Amino acid sequence: MNAGTLRISGLLRFILHASSLASRADVIWACSDSIYGIIGNWPSRRFRVPLVFDLYDDFEYFLAAKLPGIKQAYRHVVRKSDVVTCVSHPLHRLVRSSGKTGSAGHEITLKR
């Protein structure tokens, strides 16, 4: 499901729609920004559906991370995701240094 342009009303509709889909999903794939990872984490845990967080950059430095609590929530989701994909070796090293170990059934993969 593509969220398109995020506005407050659209964000609420997106969260509700994503949650209804998650109950029937095999996996939740969150990408594009820290906000989507954070949103994806909630139904992932609620419905016990694996979460893949696809990182193409360090989202800690995106505009959304300036909002209160977003950076901490992003770090939490990176650590708790079932799989984290990284676009580069430096990002892969950064994710590993943040506490994501790839152990206990959780993976960090490098996209090629």
Radius of gyration of the chain (CA): 13
pTM above 0.85, yes or no: no
pLDDT in tens, 73-109: 999 999 999 999 998 889 888 888 876 655 444 566 6
Q: Where are the domains of the chain?
A: 26-110
